[in-house]
Structures are given as C-alpha cells and as structure tokens.
Structure 1
Amino acid sequence: MPAPSKPASTTATRDASETRQPSETRKSSSVRAATTRAGSTRFNPPTGSWADDLWQRWNATDQGRRRTEWIIVGVITLIAALVRFIRLGEPGRIVFDEVYYVMDGWTLSNLGYEAEWPEEQGKLWEAGNHDAYRQDPSYVVHPPLGKYLIGWGIHIFGAENVFAWRAAVAIFGTLAVPLLYLVGRQLFRTVAMAAIPAAFLAIDGHAIVVSRVSILDVFVMFFALLGFYFILRDRDTQRTQILEWVRQWRIREHAKDPSVPLENTPSKWSFTVNAPKERPTGPDWGPVLWRRPWLIAAAAALACCIAVKWSGLYFLAFFCLFTIALDAATRKEAGITQWLSGAVLKQGPVSFLLTIPLTGILYLLSYAGWFITGKGYNGIVATGVWDGNGSLWDWLKLSWEHFMSYQTQILEFHSRLSAGHPYNSSPWEWPFLLRPTAFSYNYIEAGTAPECMDVRCVEAVTSISNPIIFWLGTISIMFLLMLMFVKPTWQYAAILVGYFAGYLPWLLTGRTSVYHFYVIAWLPFMLLASAYAIQTVLGKPTDDRRDRTRMINIVAGFFVVVILVSAFFYPTWTGMRIPEPYFELTHWLKGWK
C-alpha cells in the first residue's frame, strides 16, 4: 500500500521551523509561500535582505562555511598586523614609558633582574650603548613577565633595530584580534557577530597605539581576554557535566520512585526560611566538579596577567566570582534544590583549589630570576644577607622574607602614587574619551624639511581611539546594563563582568595619577557590547525585507564611516609627518590637545 502523501499544510510548518534556525544556516528567500487548509495559496511578505541572500550562498555547504570563516578571520588579522607592524620602527627613538620598560626588559633578560642605568639612559640606548647598564639592582614596581616579553623580543630581532624594541607588544596586540573573534564566537555563536568586535579592535587607534609602543598594558589586555575566553569554554563544559549528572540522578531516582520526574524542573527563588509547600523533586546539592581543564587554563592566563601588572588581580577576582554565579545558574536550571549553596559552599572551595594555588605558583615563577640570582632589588645577595653559606632552608626562608618585603613596598608605592602629569585623566572621564594620552610629539619647523616648506609639521603618537568606535562602546555598555533589568542573559552578564573588572576598581579608588590608555585592558568588552547593540539595530533575517534591507544598509554605511575615521586619524596614531593644520583637525575635543 503506497504511503499517503503529505498534506499541503506541512509547507507552512516547514517554513516556520526554518525561521527558528540561526541566521547563518537559515535559508533566505525573497518570496515565501504558505498554503491554506482549503488549498489556496497566499504569499507572505518577503523576508531577509541582499546581505542575507549573499551570506546564504557563501555558507550553503560545510566547506563553504569553513572557507568563509577562515577568510573573514584572516583578512581582519592581516589588517590588524599591517597597521601595527608597518613603520613599527617610527618614531626612531624612545617614546613615553619605553624609557623604563625597554631598559628593564633588556637587563632583565640578560641578568635575571632589572639593573640600574647611568643618567640619560634613553639617549645611551638610542646611541647604541645597549650594554651601558650597571650591575646594581633597580627598584621597579611592576612584576617581570611583560618586561621579559619585551626583552626577549629585543634579543630575537636585535637591539640595534628600533623594530625589536616594540616587536613583542605588536605581536600580542595583533594576536588579541583573532582572540577577540574566538571570544565573540563563544558568546554569539555566529561568524558575522564575532567578526564585528574583532574588526573594531583591528582598526581602533587606542589598540593600535599601545601595540606600537613598548608599554605593558597590551599584555594585560591579552592575558585578561585569554582568561575570559577560557572561562567561557569552562562554562560550556561545566554546564554539560552538571546537566548530565542530574539526568543520571533522575534516571536512578525515577527507577526507585516513579513520582520523581525525568524532566528537569528549574528551581525557584525563595526568600523565606519556611519549608516549601511542594516537596522538591531534584537533587539536594548537585555534583562537585574536579575535571575543569578550562578553568585551570583560565587561572594560568590570569596568573600571567597578574605577573605583568597587579591590575590583573581584579580580573581574577571578578572572573572567579562569575564562574560561581554561572555554576549556580546552571544548578538552578537543572532543578537542584540547594542550587546557590551547592555552587558557593560545595563547588566553590573546589574551584578555589583549582585556581588560586596555581595562580600564586605561576606568579612566583615569573620572579624566578630574582630568586635564583638574589641580586634584584631587595634580594638576599644584593642586600648582603646571603654569602652562599647556609642550608637550603635558610636560603628559602631569607628569600621569602625579602620577597614579601619587596611586594609590600610595591603595594605602598601604588597606594601613595599621586605625581602630576600633563596627561593625567580621572577614571570618570575615561568612558567619554575626554583626555587620551599623548605619547610623543615632534614638531618640524616650516622650511626645514621638503614636506614642510610652507607650514610647520607634526609627528605625533596619541592614543585617541577611533571616537565613533569608542563612543559606541560606551553607549552599548549602558544599553547592556538596561537589558540586564529587562531581559537578563548570561552573555550580557559576562560582557559586563569583563568591563567592570577592568574599570570599576579604578573608579572606586579615586586615583588621580592615572592615564586613559589603561582603558585598553577592558576595551575588548566594550567592543563585544557594541556587537550586541548593532545586532539589535539590524533585527533578524526573518524581518520584513524592506525593513531588514534598510537597517543593513544603515549599518553598512556606519562601517564605512568608521573605516574612514580610522584612516583620517591613522597618521596621528603612528607618528607620520603631517601638516599642523591637519593635526589640529584631529582635536575634536579640547582635552585631545
């Protein structure tokens, strides 16, 4: 007997199911037909846009999807590399705080500790006297890892090359772009949305400048973002393990007591100490998860962040608390009765053991040269308390005492630092881009160079972000804050945690001797928020074709403006010689001068 034919009404069901699929796999069509029960055909309004149709053609097969993704990531990364590495040797002199970090990186990688230099150390270095340093230790207030990276870059490419002084920061600044793409992929699950923040980071002036000047903050940004990526990966594995554990628990309990449901019923909030009216049907506390490789990887990345600058401690604290919150949310979703106490009191101590001891060990390892030589600042050899005679225990005890004394001095330095600087910027100004940092100015008088015969020229390196990108990021953070009260999601929370981990501690301390370029540490999270805002403006591929096309065109025009603004500011980010009137045109606000 032949199988019965499918009724015509299944067409509408199939169309409805297609619109529920992700935008990357949804089949876009300019005309969608639906059939009524009576058999008459009516046409729904066209949906999608020219961009959706083009995207569908590019991603029609698995091979096409992979090819498209590789091309997008490759192009964005190539652009990031070009704007960071081309003319990396310009300006051909020590710029801003390179006078500290290039010198310290070189002596640290040669001696195992930071050493003193004679007066005018920057001029000595620029003149090629790279071994003019002394053997006496130098008092430094930042951990060694970032300076090691700078020093190793100099060794690889040669101290005589200005390019080598900045090679490490340029490499890490470039790698941060595909890393941000991976973070966006974990959050958004789509190629297009992940590409937006990565592209913004590739062409933003703030990110470009700190990737072309040998300071430490680009390393802080990279390792904090790497730790965040691992936290997102841990969230997926953590969730899978909890849900599977609860599923197995329900199977076992259902076999004993059929009244225990096999389906998960999310637990409810409770603000009373009284027993619930209905007996809970889920497990009490849930599992303890020891197998957390991504959490351990996050701890290692954040240890590296702290070993560059102590501000990495804030990222460690915020991200660790965030993993507990994610754990509690998953337990609640799975129907675990004591979901909050299970996350805090049962899983929390285990997560602490998986992260904090490892972080401490790796931080100490970054000081390996200081411990081994004993010649660094406040070291046991440098202070004369160790002459090589004594037991291993004596050496360990003395080294530890002097190390802790050194760390205490660093803490006191940071807590009391209040020196003035022309480019000090209060943290409350940072979201508005009121006072970016000028790293270098060099004026060429009219008539002294072929390019400057009639007008004075300027070679400037200023950390002004692309203002369109930066202000969009600030607005988008505010947008996510509002959404958290309207329709909260873990993705919104994740971005806000990363942003406030970097920004809130500075805002609360009320410090005045700080600079706007510190924003680089949490700039990627502003860009992730921007992607969400743009997604909201774009709407969905299932929207009416005219509305969808109009919004696609508006956003495409916005991207063109962003690119043109970056091209306009690029000479002031890279020290290119430009006429002073052109330079003045880049001062949109009074504080940008």
Structure 2
Amino acid sequence: MPVSLTVDREAVVSPSLSGAGGRPLSEADLAEIHLIGKPMPADRLRAWLVAGFLAVFGGFVRLQNLGFPTDPEGTPVFDEKHYVPQAWEMLRNGGYEDNPAYELTVHPPVGKELIALGEWLFGYNSWGWRFTAALCSALMILMIIRIARRLTRSTLLGGIAGVLLICDGVSHVQGRMGMLDIYLAFFVLAAFGCLLLDRDQVRNRLAVAVREGWATESVHGPWLGFRWWRFLGGVSLGLACGSKWSGVFFIMAFGLLTVFWDATARRAAGVERPWRGALVKDVLPGVWAFVVVGLLVYLSTWWGWLTSETGVDRHLADESVHHGWYDFIPQALRSLWQYSGNVLNFHEHLVTPVTNQHPWESKPWTWPMSLRPMLYYYNGGTVSCGEQRCVSATMLIGTPALWWVSLPVLGWGLWRMIARLDWRYAAVVVAYLAGLLPWFTNLDRQMYFFYATPMAAFLVLGIVLVLGQIMGTVRDGYERRGTGLLVVALYVGIVVANFVWLWPILNGDSITEAHWQQELWLPSWR
C-alpha cells in the first residue's frame, strides 16, 4: 500500500528545523521533501468542476456553426479536399484506402480514421468530417487545464490555461477543420500529460524508498517498477505518429526529458551515481516504452491496410525486383516499408518552384508570431451583410495577444531552464521547440502555418508559467499578490477581447469590406 507523503514545505527551510513530533529533520526527510516538491492542491472536486465547465464551454465554442464554411457545392475547403474523401473511402472499405489519388495518399491512417468516425455518425457532410476534430479540440482544453494545474500546483492557473486555449485562433480553426494536425496536437498533448504524471509517480516511489531506507542500497539507485504512465505516453506518441510522421520529433524530445528527470530524481534521493543509474536502469525501459511500444502502436494503426488486398501500394514488395536479407520479413511489412519510403520521398521533394510559390506558404521562422497565416476560405461576391460589398473568410491565425508574446516567453523559458534549472520551463520549452526546430532542416520544402498547430498548447503553458510568476504566492504579501492578480486578469481579458475581435474571420462570418480590412493588422496577413 502506498505511503502518504504529504509534507508541509513552508515549514521546512533548514535541516535544523523540527519534523513531526518535534524531532529534527533527517537527511532522508529533506530528500523526501525535495523529491515530492510542492503537493497538489487539495481542491480536487472544484478543480474537476472548473475543468469540466471550461471544456464544455470550449466545446460549444468549437461546435458553433461547425458546418460552415464549405465550397458552394457543399464540398470541403482547402486541404480538407484530400483527407475528407480519403476518410470516407476508409469508412466504405473497412479501414483502408484503395484509390491512389495521384499518389497523394501520403499520411498515416489515424487522423483519417477519426474523421471517418464523424462521417459514420453524421454522414458525408461538413458536420461529419469536422465533428471529431472539434471533439479533440474540446478534450485538449480539458487536458491543458489538468496539465497546467499539475505544472503550477494551482487550480486558478489551470483554469487560465483553459481560457487561453479556448481563445487561441489556431486551436479554434484547426478544431473546426477536417484536417490531420489537430489529431497530432491532441495525442502529443496527451503524451505530455502522461510524462508529467510519470515524473510525479517516479518521485513518489523514490520517496517511499528513501523513507524505508533502501533508496541508496545500490550506487545506481533502485529499480522503479513498471511505469504505466510512461507506457501510456508511448501509446499516445504512437498514435501521434499514426496521425502525422512529425510525431516522431516528440518521441525524441520526450525521451530525453524523461531520462533527464529520472537522473535528477535519483540525485534528489541521494543516489551516489544518479546519471549512470538513469542510463543503467531507466534508458532501456524508456526506449521500450517510447520507441518499441510507440512503433507497435503505429504499426497497429495500419491494420486495415495490412489486412487488405487492394490498399494503396499494398503489394509493392511483390513488384520489387530487389531482394536481400530482409526477405524473411512478412510481405505486408515489406510493402509498408517501401510504401513509406515513397511517401518520405514525396515529402522531401515537396518543393514549390521559386517562380510559382503558393500564395499562403510560410517558413518556420514566421510561425512563433503567426506572421503568415493561412486563408482557408474566401467569398467576396455572393454573401450579404447589408452593404453592397461583403466578405466571408476563414483564416488560420494565432490570436496576437498570445502569439506575439511567444519570443519573450521562449527567451524567459530558456533562461529559467538553463540558469535556474527550472524543470517546468524545461518541459514546456523542449515540447514547444520539438514542434518548431525540425522544420528548419529542409527550408526548401513547401510549408504552411498549420504545421504549427501542436505548438499552440505549449505556448499557452509557457505563458501560464510566466503568469504564475507575475501573480506570485501568498508569501509575497497581500499588496504584491493583488497587483499580480490584476496584471494577470488584464492580460487574460485582452486575450479574450482579441479572440472576440477576430471571431468573424476565424468562422467565416459575413462582414463588410471595411471590417475585413480592419481585421488584417499586418501586411503579411493579406
């Protein structure tokens, strides 16, 4: 039975202070306190009520007029034109695509399977192909509230994180589109939450070992047992890769994070060789959880294709004239490997000619501040707004009050991570950069702002950490905390007002031409 390890951190400032029963605190007591850190707030019921209310409200915001916009014939808009019919085909065939579509079947199946689920529920219409995206977007609001609360040990800051994500233009628009990026963002955020729960579980287990006196029996520290949260993190990352391959970047980032956390936890427990202990006792189980489990989950997402006879390139290995040592691998897996190689080649050479660039293409250095958004839909001729010239448009754009502070927040996070060894900022910064930096490796490739969708949640978490420092704690005094709360309230109000202002161009509402021009704040938004 697990031991209760709730400790009053405020009472512990030096080894000379007394512990329970008036006894001096031992080194083991201090190690235990250092391991566990600040306990979670005691308001569990209120925290769940806050999270549930904001998630339901955010879901209502995402679902509002979900069926609009479509093209005049009621067909999908922008890249929905690829994934929506492919999802319908998977639904018709029982889990796989058999139409080569000019070799544009270039993404794994999970996101399209989830789109197909909505189409199964509501039919082949805009509600059908967007419903699961809106559902995942609402569930992300629930997750980020719980994640922010665990990061900050504050129910208030968790609620603020939920409000900010509701008001993020990128999360809002992508949660209302039949595209794949919101599913990638959903599973990545779920994996991040599992990573935080695993960190707390490891430290609690080590604290028990410290209390019972066997934490330092080995110079490498104890084995930590089966770690279910890390296992579920691997499952989530496998599903992320099953949505889009860029999920693999988060496997590498989160793998490094968990090994670093394991080593620092062992050091806090008084282990003689914590880094070697992490390498000896944590790395291989971590590789198993993130890489092996992730790979097996990824392969399982291809179940429809693997069991089919007419899936796209399903028998590619049979057509190959090249044979080698790998012939013992089942034909289906060899075909998947070769098919994946063709897809990788497609993505690597997806280059827009300099003389014929896509009008809304962007490069990753523009993403942190949302400098080059995406226009998904535009109708400037057949809509009515009470005036002669009207516009209806849907634009993917990050709420400026959030995205325009990204670089200062990133800089502060890097400083806290490096100079202060703040693990919370390290977690958020590493996850944020895992969604950004890999795209700099091939700048000739055609890229768009919607690739930044997974970054949005981690931007919100970074801002919430900064807001938590601005707000201060009870120990800072009434006046200091009151001023901090005022600043935080003003900032959140500005974000909400900014989101409300952008609402017409996030949802395709009919507005006047003059209003449309007022919404376009920067020349690069046009």
> C-alpha distance in 1, partners of 2:380/2:252?
45
- The aligned residue for residue 421 of structure 1 is 358
Q: CA deviation at 1:143?
A: 0.3
Letter in 2 for 1:549: G
Q: Are the equivalent residues in 2 in contact too, given 1:538–1:555 (CA < 8 A)? A: yes
- The aligned residue for residue 88 of structure 2 is 106
In the superposition, the TM-score normalised over structure 1's length comes to 0.76
Gaps of 5+ in 2: 1-6, 12-40, 321-325
Deviations 1:36-61 (A, max 9, x none): xxxxxxxxxxxxxxxxxxxxxxxxx9
Letter in 2 for 1:221: A
Deviates more, 1:174-183 or 1:481-490: 481-490
1:166 is matched with which residue: 122, 125, 130? 130
> C-alpha distance in 1, partners of 2:424/2:385?
51
Letter in 2 for 1:344: L
- Equivalences for residues 168-207 of structure 1 within 5 A: 168-207=132-171
> C-alpha distance in 1, partners of 2:44/2:305?
47
> C-alpha distance in 2, partners of 1:214/1:246?
51
Q: CA deviation at 1:421?
A: 1.4
Q: CA deviation at 1:395?
A: 11
Deviations 1:258-313 (A, max 9, x none): xxxxxx9xxxxxxxxxxxxxxxx873111233411111100000000000000000
- The aligned residue for residue 373 of structure 2 is 436
Q: Are the equivalent residues in 2 in contact too, given 1:217–1:521 (CA < 8 A)? A: yes
Question: Secondary structure of 1:438's match?
Answer: strand
> C-alpha distance in 2, partners of 1:178/1:245?
33
> C-alpha distance in 1, partners of 2:133/2:466?
30
- Equivalences for residues 98-497 of structure 1 within 5 A: 98-111=80-93, 112-116=95-99, 139-159=104-124, 161-250=125-214, 283-380=218-315, 397-419=330-352, 420-444=357-381, 450-454=384-388, 456-497=389-430
Deviations 1:491-517 (A, max 9, x none): 111111211111111134334411112
- The aligned residue for residue 57 of structure 2 is 79
CA distance 1:450–1:431, shift in 2 (3 Å): closer
Q: CA deviation at 1:18?
A: 9.9
> C-alpha distance in 1, partners of 2:52/2:104?
42
Q: CA deviation at 1:141?
A: 1.1
Question: Secondary structure of 1:291's match?
Answer: coil
Question: Secondary structure of 1:96's match?
Answer: coil
Letter in 2 for 1:227: A
Q: CA RMSD in A?
A: 2.6
- Equivalences for residues 84-103 of structure 1 within 5 A: 84-93=62-71, 94-103=76-85
> C-alpha distance in 1, partners of 2:445/2:308?
36
Deviations 1:376-435 (A, max 9, x none): 12112x88769xxxxxx9997222221111111111112221123111111111112210
Q: Are the equivalent residues in 2 in contact too, given 1:105–1:147 (CA < 8 A)? A: yes
Deviates more, 1:292-301 or 1:412-421: 412-421
Question: Secondary structure of 2:272's match?
Answer: coil
1:518 aligns with 2:451: yes
- The aligned residue for residue 439 of structure 2 is 506
Question: Secondary structure of 1:542's match?
Answer: helix
Number of paired residues? 477
Question: Secondary structure of 2:160's match?
Answer: helix
> C-alpha distance in 1, partners of 2:207/2:133?
42
> C-alpha distance in 1, partners of 2:168/2:141?
11
Q: Are the equivalent residues in 1 in contact too, given 2:318–2:331 (CA < 8 A)? A: no
> C-alpha distance in 1, partners of 2:499/2:229?
36
- The aligned residue for residue 543 of structure 1 is 476
Letter in 2 for 1:284: V
Letter in 2 for 1:482: W
